[in-house]
């Protein structure tokens, strides 16, 4: 089993430094209730394809944060705060092992209604920027949590609450494939298979959902229609 390192920018006084740690796969697997080898594979794939995402814990789409300083918790010799490094013993039973990070940039110059709604800036935790060849873009954070019984049941992928400023994430809808409370509907009955990893779900289902949802928010009401 190859060790996987993660890093996170932390402020020390008036400067920013990066704290690095080796992911405690054993502790994460134990909390997730999955075999250590499977968790190691999940971590290795995410490190390759989504290297800036953090393995943490969440209750639904809400990250369970450090009680001392409200920073993100990570699996570093158990579960501990990424900033003050205090070990966390307060995560409730409902807190699930989850990945947190931003999806690849989505260009919004071709989405005038979405761009107009962002005229005062991106929602909290979201990032806007400009890149040559892409124009104005948006980075959207997601939470991908391992549910009880994984891998018999699929990974839950959710938008943060703030994304509802752009699209109706709180609703349950067949039109734009949402289960309510920010949770994406990504699989029809029989489509999930247990070998599928969080990395595959994010690449193959989560990112396309984001693109379609932004198109829906831009007025394309058949954005989620199947094309035969």
Residue pLDDT, tens place only, 120-143: 899 999 999 999 999 999 999 999
pLDDT tens digit sequence for 64-109? 999 888 999 999 999 999 988 999 988 888 999 999 999 999 999 9
- In which band, very low, low, confident or very high, does the pLDDT at 18 lie, cut at 50, 70 and 90? confident
Position 2 scores a pLDDT of 77
Question: Is the model's pLDDT at 228 over the cut of 60?
Answer: no
- In which band, very low, low, confident or very high, does the pLDDT at 223 lie, cut at 50, 70 and 90? very high
**CA dihedral for 187, 222, 159, 53, sign (positive or negative):** positive
> Residue 128: helix, strand or coil by DSSP?
strand
pLDDT tens digit sequence for 148-203? 999 999 999 999 999 999 999 999 999 999 999 999 999 999 999 999 999 999 99
HSE at residue 58, side-chain half, CA atoms within 13 A, is: 23
DSSP count for the chain of H helices, then E strands: 5, 14
Burial class (CB in 10 A: 0-12, 13-18, 19+), 37: exposed
What are the domain boundaries of the chain? 5-99, 103-217
- Read off the pLDDT of each residue in 3-24 and give the average, rounded to a whole number: 85
Question: Is the model's pLDDT at 12 over the cut of 70?
Answer: no
- Read off the pLDDT of each residue in 50-56 and give the average, rounded to a whole number: 97
Question: Is the model's pLDDT at 206 over the cut of 80?
Answer: yes
Task: Name the phi and psi angles at 205, rounded to 5.
Answer: -125, -45
């Amino acid at each position: 089993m190859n060790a996987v390192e993660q890093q996170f920018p932390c402020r020390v006084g008036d400067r920013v430094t990066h704290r690095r740690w080796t992911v405690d796969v054993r502790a994460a697997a134990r909390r997730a209730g999955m075999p250590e080898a499977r968790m190691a594979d999940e971590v290795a794939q995410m490190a390759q394809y989504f290297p800036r995402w953090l393995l943490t814990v969440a209750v639904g789409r809400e990250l369970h944060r450090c009680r001392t300083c409200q920073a993100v918790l990570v699996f570093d010799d158990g579960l501990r705060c990424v900033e003050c490094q205090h070990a966390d013993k307060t995560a409730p039973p409902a807190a699930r092992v989850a990945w947190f990070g931003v999806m690849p940039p989505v260009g919004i110059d071709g989405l005038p209604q979405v761009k107009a709604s962002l005229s005062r800036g991106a929602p909290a935790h979201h990032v806007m920027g400009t890149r040559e060849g892409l124009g104005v873009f948006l980075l959207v954070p997601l939470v991908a949590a391992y549910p009880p019984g994984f891998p018999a049941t699929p990974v839950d992928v959710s938008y943060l609450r703030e994304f509802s400023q752009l699209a109706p994430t709180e609703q349950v809808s067949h039109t734009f494939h949402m289960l309510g409370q920010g949770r994406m509907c990504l699989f029809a009955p029989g489509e999930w298979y247990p070998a599928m990893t969080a990395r595959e779900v994010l690449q193959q289902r989560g990112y396309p959902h984001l693109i379609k949802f932004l198109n829906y928010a831009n007025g394309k009401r058949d954005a989620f229609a199947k094309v035969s």
